[in-house]
Amino acid sequence: MKTNYRMGLALALLAGLTAGTATIARLQAQPKPSAYVVIDITETRDPDAYIKAVSAAEPNATVSAGGRFIVRSNAPVALDGPAPNRFVVIAFDSSEKAKAWYDTQAIKDVNAVRMKVTNSRAFMVDGVTN
C-alpha cells in the first residue's frame, strides 16, 4: 500500500511540475505590448516652420529608431467633437524604444518647433497583446 501511495504522490508531483513549467514557459513567451506615440495637433500657427522641421528629420529619425508610422493625416474626420488639423500615430516594439526615439536630437528639434508653432500634445500609450 505504501508503494502505491508513494508512486501516486510521485506522479502527482511530476504532473504538477510539468504543468508549472509549461505555464511559466507560456508566460515568458508572451510578447510585451507595443507602444504607440500619438501626436495631436489642434492648430498650426506657422505651417511652413513646422513642415520645414519635420521634413529635415523624417522619416529617417523615426524609422532608424524602430518606429513605424501607423497614421499621418492632415485630414482627420470628426465623429464626436472637433477633429485636430493633424494627427500622427507611431508604433514602436516597446515603450523603451519609444522613449529612446523621443530623446533623440532630431526629434527634440522637431518637438521644439512643434511646441513653438502649434497647439498640440504628444503622448505614449501601450498597445494590447493578442
Q: Are residues 52 and 97 in the same domain?
A: yes
Q: Tens digits of per-residue pLDDT, 27-40?
A: 555 577 799 999 99
Q: Answer whether 0.75 is exceeded by the pTM.
A: no
Beta bridge partners of 44: 118
Residue 45 belongs to domain spanning: 35-126
Instruction: At 88, list the grid cell.
Output: 500622427
Report residue 15 CA to chain centroid gap.
Answer: 39
Q: Are residues 80 and 105 in the same domain?
A: yes
More confident residue, 23 or 39: 39
From CA 10, how far away is CA 16, in angstroms rounded?
10
Q: Are residues 104 and 46 in the same domain?
A: yes
Under 8 Å between Cβ of 126 and 95: yes
Q: Are residues 97 and 45 in the same domain?
A: yes
Q: Tens digits of per-residue pLDDT, 44-81?
A: 999 999 999 998 888 889 999 999 999 999 999 999 99
DSSP-assigned letters across all residues of 2-61: HHHHHHHHHHHHHHHHHHHHHHHHHHHHSPPPPEEEEEEEEEES-HHHHHHHHHHHTTHH
CATH number of the domain encompassing residue 122: 3.30.70.100
3-state helix, strand and coil shares in percent for the chain, rounded to the nearest 5: 50, 25, 25
Q: Are residues 61 and 14 in the same domain?
A: no
Q: Are residues 76 and 90 in the same domain?
A: yes
Q: Are residues 55 and 93 in the same domain?
A: yes
Structural domain total, the chain: 2
Q: Are residues 23 and 87 in the same domain?
A: no
Beta bridge partners of 119: 43
